[in-house]
Structure 1
């Protein structure tokens, strides 16, 4: 399945109308219209067409008349008459010498003059469909670029993770021996059973064990790669997995004071943040 970015642009013309669609990031699908009032009856149908192709992103829909549109201008004579009469009454009360002329109606052109184009619904909707397809194609192209970049970053995460696994091999035994020797030195002047020292060293070393975190991190990373491979609507699922990856790597960092492991943890966290930045723009 295709993976879409939430950023894109599409346009098309038909039936005397120009349709423009602009898309940017948003948590949900948020559609806004800018078009003449006489097109309001078609808003719900156009909104439904957009929902069929997009699930996330703010989409601004702009529909305007083209130069080739056939327009009839109608005058609301009742409103025009009321405006002129009201202006004449005000003029008399104020003792003005001049009376309002018909030119004054242009100040109220939105209320008096109506544009009534000849609307061919089939041509209008065809233009909307072409604009939607243009937007979809751009979002897919942008999505392909983002996914390629994310795969490169995942490759870096895997490289650092392999180094982390290598650094952690034998770490538990090493910590145990270090702690046992330190405890022996600390209690050198105290009569204490060596078995107790061994037990305490084992408990302290166990707290630095990161094998479970390594296993969960590897599992989350495989899930992330599978989601990217399957495609579709993946933004929120990947965002959740990235939070889990950060949780595991933070735990590993807090458990181990080893320099090599800390260095790998910092590098992995940096790469995960790069993925989080990119995933914010994926549907």
Structure 2
């Protein structure tokens, strides 16, 4: 079953050492676009995180937010030189603006970059083992939501495909009488135009009608439309990413309806081709949400 490109999942994990929160959000995108936000001490794992995400998701804009809260004491280093620089600049700003209120410690505590946790490489690797598990579980949860949304999208798309098949069936029905309709119309026009004392050469007339009918023949377009619609139905029953190929097929369907419209010599065919283009445009909008 196809999956939607939109989805959201969040997972909180607790143990005696950490509280790990993983939040994932996906939106529509032409390709796979991954944005990762994580604590600085896990920055070396960013490439690995992107690889893990790509194993679960093949298309969409993916936002990954990882947050770690330590539940055990850890070493914290204060950058005194930077703290003094902040204080001196704040003091200079206070004086230049004529602010009477003195600089407080709470003002400096707003600058989080003054504090850095001193974490050993061994501790980071131990933390990463747990973070990786949480990330994968959150991705699995996200996939379930994307599948659920994909089922709803697939139901709408199937209804549109049924409507397109009905339109093509009607076009095929009218196309069977196209040659006779063209011949009758040309004959009526010729009789209205030619003087009564002029006899019509039926051989030349039939030849002309045959040429015009050949130019208006839409059997190939109908065959291709049926083929494209069948391929779309097959895609809806597959499990892999289908959005890109489905989008290409809607472009081909649009092309066939345009050709039928340009060849059409019957009002019924023109109306059906226009309706087909409209339904196909709705289908094209809907499949933009599929992975």
TM-score by length of 1: 0.85
Question: 231-240 or 268-277, which moves further after superposition?
Answer: 268-277
Aligned to 1:241: 249
Return the offset for 1:142: 1.1
Q: 1:103 aligns with which of 105, 113, 117?
A: 105
- Distance in 1 between residues matched to 2:129 and 2:222, nearest whole Å: 58
* Alpha-carbon contact 1:5-1:139 (below 8 Å) kept: yes
- Distance in 1 between residues matched to 2:178 and 2:86, nearest whole Å: 89
TM-score by length of 2: 0.83
Return the offset for 1:21: 0.3
Aligned to 1:3: 2
Change (3 A) 1:86 1:255: closer
1:270 equivalenced with 2:278 (yes/no) = yes
Structure 1 unaligned regions, length at least 5: none
Instruction: State how 1:192-271 maps to structure 2 within 5 Å.
Output: 193-271=201-279
- Distance in 1 between residues matched to 2:246 and 2:63, nearest whole Å: 26
Aligned to 1:132: 139
Return the offset for 1:270: 2.1
* Alpha-carbon contact 1:8-1:135 (below 8 Å) kept: yes
1:148 equivalenced with 2:151 (yes/no) = no
Q: Give the secondary-structure state (helix, strand or coil) at the position aligned to 1:230.
A: coil
CA deviation vs aligned residue, 1:182-225 (integer Å, no higher than 9, x gap): 23442336677443333223222322221111111111111111
Question: 38-47 or 201-210, which moves further after superposition?
Answer: 201-210
- Distance in 1 between residues matched to 2:115 and 2:166, nearest whole Å: 69
Structure 2 unaligned regions, length at least 5: none
Change (3 A) 1:70 1:192: farther
Count of equivalent residues: 277
Return the offset for 1:60: 0.7
- Distance in 2 between residues matched to 1:196 and 1:169, nearest whole Å: 23
- Distance in 1 between residues matched to 2:66 and 2:189, nearest whole Å: 76
Instruction: State how 1:37-186 maps to structure 2 within 5 Å.
Output: 37-66=40-69, 68=71, 72-80=75-83, 103=105, 106=108, 109-116=111-118, 119=124, 120-186=127-193
